[in-house]
Amino acid sequence: MGAAQREILGETFGFLSTHLPLLLGLAVLMAVAIAAESLLRRGVGERGRRRLFLGLVGAAVALGLTLAWQVLWLADDAFISFRYARNLARGWGLVFNQGEWVEGYTNFLWTALLGGLGWLGADIPYAGLFGCLLCFAAALVAVAVTVRKVAVGPQVIPFAALALAGSAPFYTFASSGLETMPLALLGVVAMWVSTLRRGALLAGLVLVLAAMTRPDFLLIYGCMGLALVVEDLCFGEGRFLRRIDWGRLTAFAVPFVFVYLPYFMIRWRVYGDIFPNTYYAKSGGLSYFRQGSVYLFHFMATTGGWIWLPLFGLSLAGRPRDRNETRLRAFALLSALIYGGYVVKVGGDFMEHRFLVPLLPLIAVAAEISLRHHLRRLRSPGLALAGVAVVSLAVAVALLPIRLIGPYQLRWMLAAEHTFYPVKKLIPLRVGSGYVEEGEALHRALVERGLRPHLVGAAIGMLGYYSDLPLVDALGLTNRRIAHKRIHFRGRPGHEKGGTVEEIVEEGGILAGWPMWGERWASATRVEIDGRDLYFVRLDSEVSAAIEKIPGAKVPDPGAQVRRLVRERPREEVLEALPFYRIFLQGRPDREALLSALEGRLRSVLDFEEEELPPQTTSFGRGLKRVSGVAPPGASGTGWLSSLPDRGDGTGRLEVTIPSLDADELRFVLGGAASEKLTVRLLVEGAVAREARPQGGQGLSPVAWSLAELRGRQATLVIEDADPAPGIGLLLDGVHFGAGMGDVRERLARWRGGEVDDPAALIREAERLLPGDDPDRLAIGEQVEARWTLAALPEGTALLGEAFGRGPIRHAIPGQRDISGGNGGALLNSYQPGDRALGRVEFPERELSGGPIVVLVGGGASCSKTYVGLEVDGVVVKRVCGKNDETLRPMTLDTAKWKGRRGRLVAVDESKDGWGHILLGDVIFLRPGR
């Protein structure tokens, strides 16, 4: 038993123990009802029993609808089907986006029915809501009628119908707008029609309709076929196979051959996939037993299945009374085992109970039929009393509404979905979800102004329905490309795949409701319309120009962004920006000019950011290779050169032809063992003009070569590892020309001249790109008043709470993404033991000189809850935070306003949400002025 199962079990029995009086009261009520029926059977005639039975069926329906009305809701997923249905009613076909034939629904018959009602003028969300409630009521009636027809002896109280009416999972899904309740109805109707003349044909037809409502109900269809075989084997005559009524099985198969197969072939031809697109999006072909067992365990615990399911199994023991009872018993048992096993195999669903709810009527019918049969056969009063007690307790536990997942809560990768989307108002219909307001706002802001850009969404139901915009589904439910991606991890079922930004752009995505490029590029992609923020995924020229004409709207200005990057920002930020703008600016006429400006600022010879080396590069041997991942200290970007093998000889040589040395300086970062056989050389006319070797130690260190007397000449850069010793090799990154506009030396000159620059970026860039004895680096170093490397906390520092553990560490926490940007130094990390931990670090007070404090910060982007701040007189007056990633970036806390006063630095984690942590690298106190 796993940790989740133990937690579910503990909370379930804790709930039962605190509600023991209610549980016993329900059990007593059930026992009284059984006794009352026994008396009524003897004291009331057939007509009276029938009237009383019908009245109680009506009471069951009324009870169920009353309980369902209290949790009335419409699922976001239902609105995906609603949008397909609306497009069908419009004459566009069963499509999510006009002209895009992707089967992003799993309930053809339900969606087609809603589309037909929409074509007739019905409001589709209303039709979905009341259609589900009608199916719920009809299912209760069908359960009662089926039991009355098959069970032994006269009946007065429809126990199964009443129990289902009061079952929280069943009445919760009485609304929802999903196909769950139509499936439950079709399943129990199949039981009922199987008892009629031509029952096999009718049951086959009903279950084929169920399979057209949800494809995995083909398993239920197969279970009925097996049940027919079991019935024949039990009651047929002759040798084993001759007992089977092949004519009846043929009749059962007729609807499959003449209804389902033609439907299947048509939809396969239309959509191009054997299974619905959602099957691929949710990785239905893979096994996920670990989560499926949690799903089943939670279902058993919260529905009382731990007691009524074994009772159901026992009730099926023994020879049935007749063919009908045999068939229905076998059908219910096989459905529970085979379909239930399938649900466990695929991992269940993210909505609690949903996939198993259609089994409840089948089990309820078979259980009541069997229990009535067995209880009537008990001649011993003691055994009869014990049987009634067990049955009463089982029903009482089933009726107890055990809720382990609270409103708006995600536990065990499950959600009580009805709490997210309650119906707040019936006329006009209002669902209590921000997706409704967001969709309506987008419709007003864009569609009503004649704009229909492709929107990107993850929860696409209400957003897609109410915005009526073409939409790219980031999770792949309605997108074939994303749905067919390989799955790399198992998590919340149905939410494990996602499109990269590049894939979203290729699929036509233009706008999103959140910064898809991450907080790092949020300001660069933000667009404001009618006071609402949206974010460009790709800065489409036509859409951007149209939005710009809207009064008060604001759109990104990539020209100004690039100019600032080129003139003011560190080289590593420009390097990070280049792949972003390559995609973000696709299709714009100014794209090439802006990219050229960025590339000109980088002036790269070798950055190793691309998979392939430049064409002017020649490689000898296998030792030197481009490596990608989390960069070692001193490197930048996502790629670098390495000759450090896992084992064996890593020797090799790389030659790069430089047509012209067109700058005064060539810089790079170099690391590796201090070996004479590891070299980087600049050859001019075959002679060595410059040479460098690694100095050992951790990370990569900057190297700068003056080229003043070599300008304009052709050269060859030779990078060589000639040391065959295992584990000995070099690292190299960022070979580039310097001294142009925006380069660190040019910006340092402006710093010295008093021109405003970002000290947080400049001090770090000088350390990253210039050697330790470089005059410019020494000059900027004189601005440092004090520095905390955090290898050890300054004396007087207080660690409070659990979030920061025991203090500084040099690595990510297990389960956390790799940390970059810190040059391998020590840092404070509040991801200990996870995002739910809270805490703060209070550094010692010091007198503030008025100079800026430069800090390396990463982690969460919520500056109100996770931040590094300046505290003066107990009040946090300045704060900085991360960008929802694990990259440490230099940021500045200005202290000029509090010069001469005492203050202290604090690192604070007050968040239990996702990205609820903060990272703090070393701290630099700069002197005021330049």
pLDDT digits (tens, 9 = 90+) for 778-788: 988 888 899 99
CA distances 684 to 117, 613, 656, 660, Å, are: 80, 22, 12, 10
* Backbone φ, ψ for residue 812 (5° rounding): -75, 160
- How far is the C-alpha of 25 from the C-alpha of 22, rounded, in Å? 5
In the numeric block, which tokens belong to residue 48? 């009276």
* Burial class of 285 by CB neighbour count within 10 A (0 to 12, 13 to 18, 19+): exposed
- Nearest CA to 201 out of 143, 257, 156 is that of 257
**Region 412-433 average pLDDT:** 92
pLDDT at site 856: 92
Reported as a single tens digit per residue, the pLDDT across 552-588 is: 999 999 999 999 999 988 888 899 999 999 999 999 9
pLDDT at site 397: 80
Comparing 378-387, 409-418, 760-769, the range with the smallest average pLDDT is: 378-387
Q: 867 near 879, Cβ under 8 Å?
A: yes
Residue with tokens 């029926």: 37
22 residue type, one letter: L
Q: 678 near 720, Cβ under 8 Å?
A: yes
Summary mean pLDDT of the chain: 90
- Nearest CA to 670 out of 653, 693, 691, 644 is that of 693
With H, G, I as helix, E, B as strand and everything else as coil, classify residue 833.
Answer: coil
The residues pairing with 908 across neighbouring beta strands, listed in sequence order, are 840, 867
Could you tell me if residue 128 is left (phi over 0), alpha (psi between -120 and 50 degrees) or otherwise beta?
A: alpha
- Measured at the CA of 55, the angle between CA 174 and CA 386, to 5 degrees, comes to 85
Higher pLDDT, 124 or 16: 124
pLDDT at site 377: 66
Q: What's the pLDDT band for 499 if we cut at 50, 70, 90? A: confident
Share of the chain above pLDDT 70, in %: 98
CA distances 111 to 72, 373, 822, Å, are: 20, 40, 53
pLDDT at site 646: 55
Q: What's the pLDDT band for 215 if we cut at 50, 70, 90? A: very high
* Backbone φ, ψ for residue 561 (5° rounding): -65, -45
Q: 211 near 330, Cβ under 8 Å?
A: no
Residue 56 has pLDDT above 70, yes or no: yes
Dihedral of CA atoms 512, 515, 521, 523 in degrees, nearest 10, equals 80
pLDDT at site 25: 85
pLDDT at site 379: 62
In the numeric block, which tokens belong to residue 476? 């792949």
Q: How many residues does the chain have?
A: 930
Q: 187 near 362, Cβ under 8 Å?
A: yes
Residue 357 has pLDDT above 90, yes or no: yes
- Nearest CA to 137 out of 83, 84, 212, 59 is that of 59
pTM for the model: 0.84
With H, G, I as helix, E, B as strand and everything else as coil, classify residue 692.
Answer: strand
Reported as a single tens digit per residue, the pLDDT across 140-168 is: 999 999 999 988 777 888 988 999 999 99
Higher pLDDT, 751 or 271: 271
Beta-sheet strands, E only, within 521-620: 526-529, 532-536, 604-606, 617-620
Q: What's the pLDDT band for 494 if we cut at 50, 70, 90? A: confident
CA distances 366 to 227, 363, 642, 868, Å, are: 13, 5, 68, 63
Residue 648 has pLDDT above 60, yes or no: no
Residue 384 has pLDDT above 60, yes or no: yes
Reported as a single tens digit per residue, the pLDDT across 899-922 is: 999 999 999 999 988 889 999 998
pLDDT at site 510: 95
- How far is the C-alpha of 883 from the C-alpha of 888, rounded, in Å? 9
Reported as a single tens digit per residue, the pLDDT across 596-620 is: 999 999 999 999 988 888 889 999 9
Residues 6+ apart with CB under 8 A from 794: 788, 843, 844
Q: What's the pLDDT band for 13 if we cut at 50, 70, 90? A: confident
- How far is the C-alpha of 57 from the C-alpha of 836, rounded, in Å? 49
**Region 808-812 average pLDDT:** 86
Provide the 10 A C-beta neighbour count for residue 278.
22
Would you tell me the crossing angle of helices 381-399 and 359-377 to the nearest 10 degrees?
Answer: 160
pLDDT at site 430: 93
- Nearest CA to 638 out of 887, 816, 855, 919 is that of 887
* Burial class of 121 by CB neighbour count within 10 A (0 to 12, 13 to 18, 19+): exposed
CA distances 771 to 131, 142, 738, 777, 921, Å, are: 74, 83, 14, 7, 21
- How far is the C-alpha of 148 from the C-alpha of 159, rounded, in Å? 10
Residue 343 has pLDDT above 80, yes or no: yes
- How far is the C-alpha of 161 from the C-alpha of 311, rounded, in Å? 18
In the numeric block, which tokens belong to residue 511? 């706008």
Q: What's the pLDDT band for 859 if we cut at 50, 70, 90? A: very high
Q: 605 near 656, Cβ under 8 Å?
A: yes
DSSP secondary structure code for residue 693 in this structure = -
- How far is the C-alpha of 219 from the C-alpha of 184, rounded, in Å? 14
Higher pLDDT, 411 or 646: 411
- How far is the C-alpha of 494 from the C-alpha of 907, rounded, in Å? 37
pLDDT at site 169: 93
- Measured at the CA of 404, the angle between CA 399 and CA 407, to 5 degrees, comes to 105
SS3 for 374-422 is: HHHHCCCHHHHHHHHHHHHHHHHHHHCCCCCCCCCCEECCEECHHHCCE
Q: What's the pLDDT band for 416 if we cut at 50, 70, 90? A: very high
* Backbone φ, ψ for residue 866 (5° rounding): -130, 110
pLDDT at site 649: 64
Q: 876 near 784, Cβ under 8 Å?
A: no
Reported as a single tens digit per residue, the pLDDT across 682-730 is: 999 889 999 999 998 888 999 999 999 999 999 999 999 999 888 889 9
Q: 227 near 327, Cβ under 8 Å?
A: yes
- Nearest CA to 506 out of 538, 539, 542 is that of 538
With H, G, I as helix, E, B as strand and everything else as coil, classify residue 771.
Answer: coil
In the numeric block, which tokens belong to residue 364? 């309820």
